[in-house]
Amino acid sequence: MKKVIKYIFFDLDNTLVDFMGIKKMCCSAAVDAMIKEGLEMSKKDAMKILFELYENYGIEYDKIFQKFLIRVMKKIDYKILARAVYEYRRVQLRHLKPYPGVVHLMKKLKQEGYKLSIVSDAPSMKVWLRLFETGLAEYFDFVVAFDETRQKKPSRGVFRLAVKKAGCKPHEILFVGDDPMRDVNGAKAVGIKTVFALYGLVPKYKKYVKSISPDYVIRRPSELLDVLKRINGG
């Protein structure tokens, strides 16, 4: 059977990996560690401030604990900072793994001859590190990340670069992502077929779901195989 779809683009965080779940777990461990080292505030207040800072500086901001300590202590206590970073990384390395079924899905897609890539708003280094840490790196041909375009999804420039790298037509590509506006609407704007990964939807983005019309919706990663059968079967 001749394939209609040749390339599959994936978002990474909350599509292949439970990024926000792990982020909250890591931050919780880091806050506990800072309190043990002498930070005088409640865990509830500390978590609230930490995620307010993430909202301001971006969820990938790598100096977030420095900003946090300056905010709450008016200075950086390097012992507290080091303990926070250590605990964050320890928990991340222990718990960072793909959603159930993702590895099997990747193996199946490669066996069936599909080309795969990641289109992410994170920096390239962080994307590749996450892929190696989760054992997914071997399945992907390339990554399109923020440092290449200096733009974020849903910018058309991001998706156009991905299409150019893939070397095929937009209608020969399927994009799988969890973000209603950035992933679904961004990919559709350049003519790419879209799959909305409902299982990865972050609660704060639920209000945007009614404003999208993805070509397909999946409730678990394995359902992507059924979507491909439907497309290629006409």
Mean predicted confidence (pLDDT) in 135-154: 95
Give the model's pLDDT for residue 204: 83
Condensed to tens digits (0 to 9), the pLDDT of residues 13-68 reads 999 999 999 999 999 999 999 999 999 999 999 999 999 999 999 888 999 999 99
**DSSP three-state, residue 108:** helix
Give the model's pLDDT for residue 232.
87
Predicted pLDDT at 60: 87
d(CA 118, CA 205) in angstroms, rounded, equals 21
Beta bridge partners of 165: none
- pLDDT score, position 3: 79
Mean pLDDT value of segment 136-163: 95
- In one-letter notation, the amino acid at residue 145 is A
Report d(CA 225, CA 142) in Å as an integer: 21
Domains and CATH numbers, the chain: 7-17+97-232 (3.40.50.1000), 20-95 (1.10.150.520)
Separation between Cα atoms, residue 152 and residue 145, nearest integer Å: 8
**74 three-state secondary structure:** coil
Q: What is the pLDDT of residue 1?
A: 55
Question: Phi/psi of residue 217, each to 5°?
Answer: -125, 135
CA nearest neighbour of 141 among 150, 151, 129, 128? 128
Residue pair 192/216 in contact (Cβ under 8 Å)? The answer is: no
Residue 234 has pLDDT above 70, yes or no: no
Q: What is the pLDDT of residues 167-201, one digit of tens each?
A: 999 999 999 999 999 999 999 999 999 999 999 99
Which of 201, 122, 141 is CA-nearest to residue 6? 141
Residue 141's φ and ψ, nearest 5 degrees, are -80, -35
pLDDT confidence bin for 116, thresholds 50/70/90: very high
